[in-house]
Structure 1
Amino acid sequence: MNLFTPEFWDERYAASQQIWSGNPNPQLVRHAAGLTPGTALDVGCGEGADVLWLARQGWQVTGLDVSAVALARAARSTAQAAEPGVEQRMSWQQADILTWRAEQRYDLVSAQFMHLPRPHLQRVQQELAAAVAPGGALLVVGHHPDHPRHSGHEEWPDMQFTAEQVAESLDPTQWRIVVCDAPTRPAVMEGVEVTAVDAVLLAVRVV
């Protein structure tokens, strides 16, 4: 099955009660904590941990994902965990990122570990940038090419990227690069402790 289809992700989420850790992505916490809350779009929101974290910080957040199963789980689990008033700051949207077009602009657009074949990735990153309002921030985080590889994923290197590659897609007259880095962090992959290498791009739209 093509792993970029709604059917693939619906099946994957339906096969397990929980896939991800339930914790917000560390680079989101690190780099969004200092931003002034406004409207936010979390692209590829999965089970909703990042959406919940942002809503708790005061953001009005839309979680977007290809999987209706993931979105139903995210809405249910975040509603159960949310403090009074937080649930009202979260909404959910099902969309295929391969054909998605930005219909409005946000003060923060976050895409955490969204890996696609190169032609698709470049188009999607252009749409992510188009969804950022003037003065807003774009945060793209992924696995750097130096990140340890998963077994059985021969295509994986073609879908990894550097922060510099993301930055090159942004018009320098319209964007200010705040962070362009490849930080490391401890992680567990396939039961083994490894040193993860992230690609982190934080940029602010100036016009």
Structure 2
Amino acid sequence: MNHEHNDTHTATKYGEEFWEEFYRDRPQIWTGNPNALLVREVSDLTPGTALDLGCGEGGDAIWLAERGWKVTAVDVSPTAIERGKTRAAGLDITWAAHDLQHDFPEGTFDLVSAQFLHSPNERPNERAEILRRASQAVAVAGRLVIGSHFGMPSWATHRHDMDLPSISQTLEQLALGPNWHVEMAELIFAEAVSPEGEVGERSDSVLRIRRDS
């Protein structure tokens, strides 16, 4: 859930209603490429089972499956799920529509990925609750990889209601026990280009956390 949305008429819409309107607005939203932070943090891991939360049109799920992961890809938008299925024909991916705050996939996974799981009008504590549930879905010796926006692009002027916590705030929200250890925690600054072509900078963070027992 990593896209800003400026239409004021969607301000009171949540969950499936908001994201269905978002995806139906255009025939394709994302580039289809995997998120760079996920690629960086997962490329050296041995493939196993993976859960992709907020999979959108499937760029991350497809990249993982092509590298041998058995992927479960979930999103609140059935339209996004159908687009992912179409692109991923022949790959070992299970697709499912879930409202993660109320309907979380069952089972545990060697990798749980939450890349830019933000929403412009999320409910209070929604993201924190989903991430805590995500940590519970990590198998022993598995990883939780969280990519987050930390600040809006430097050229952005509109207001937003997204929860953009720092790395320390995210770890505090997760409230993980001593059976976890942080393998990577980094704030990353990258170039960001506005829809009008203005070049600026944005800050993202990445966490890779391993469950030891």
Corresponding residue SS for 2:175: coil
Work out whether residues 167 and 180 of structure 1, in 8 Å CA contact, stay in contact via their aligned partners in 2.
no
Residue 170 of structure 1: how far off its partner (Å): 3.5
Q: Say if 1:142 and 1:68 are closer, same or farther in 2 by CA, change over 3 A.
A: same
Corresponding residue SS for 1:51: helix
Residue 171 of structure 1: how far off its partner (Å): 2.2
Deviation sequence 1:16-68 (CA, Å, 0-9, x none):
01111211000000001011100001000000000010011110011100000
Residue 149 of structure 1: how far off its partner (Å): 6.9
Work out whether residues 145 and 161 of structure 1, in 8 Å CA contact, stay in contact via their aligned partners in 2.
no
Residue 113 of structure 1: how far off its partner (Å): 0.6
Residue of structure 2 equivalent to 1:171: 176
Give the Cα separation in 2 of the matches to 1:102 and 1:188. Answer: 35
Residue of structure 2 equivalent to 1:153: 159
Q: Say if 1:145 and 1:185 are closer, same or farther in 2 by CA, change over 3 A.
A: closer
TM-score w.r.t. the length of structure 2 is: 0.86
Residue of structure 1 equivalent to 2:204: 198
Which of 77, 97, 106 is the matching residue for 1:94?
Answer: 97
Residue of structure 2 equivalent to 1:137: 143
Corresponding residue SS for 1:17: coil
Give the Cα separation in 2 of the matches to 1:161 and 1:58. Answer: 32
Work out whether residues 164 and 180 of structure 1, in 8 Å CA contact, stay in contact via their aligned partners in 2.
no
Between stretches 92-101 and 132-141, larger displacement belongs to: 92-101
Q: Which structure shows the higher helix fraction? A: 1
Work out whether residues 153 and 192 of structure 2, in 8 Å CA contact, stay in contact via their aligned partners in 1.
no
Give the Cα separation in 1 of the matches to 2:167 and 2:59. Answer: 23
Work out whether residues 32 and 57 of structure 2, in 8 Å CA contact, stay in contact via their aligned partners in 1.
yes
Deviation sequence 1:141-162 (CA, Å, 0-9, x none):
1101465474433324xx1112
Between stretches 190-199 and 10-19, larger displacement belongs to: 190-199
Corresponding residue SS for 2:125: helix
Residue of structure 2 equivalent to 1:106: 109
Work out whether residues 54 and 115 of structure 2, in 8 Å CA contact, stay in contact via their aligned partners in 1.
yes
Residue 190 of structure 1: how far off its partner (Å): 3.0
Corresponding residue SS for 1:183: strand
Q: Unaligned stretches of 5+ in structure 2? A: 1-9
Count residues with an aligned counterpart: 198
Deviation sequence 1:72-111 (CA, Å, 0-9, x none):
01111222xxxxxxx3411101000221334210000001
Q: Do residues 120 (structure 1) and 103 (structure 2) align?
A: no
Q: Do residues 71 (structure 1) and 81 (structure 2) align?
A: yes
Q: CA RMSD in A?
A: 1.8
TM-score w.r.t. the length of structure 1 is: 0.88
Between stretches 90-99 and 64-73, larger displacement belongs to: 90-99
Give the Cα separation in 2 of the matches to 1:172 and 1:197. Answer: 28
Q: Unaligned stretches of 5+ in structure 1? A: 80-86
Corresponding residue SS for 1:70: helix
Work out whether residues 167 and 177 of structure 1, in 8 Å CA contact, stay in contact via their aligned partners in 2.
no
**AA of the residue aligned to 2:180:** W
Give the Cα separation in 2 of the matches to 1:14 and 1:206. Answer: 41
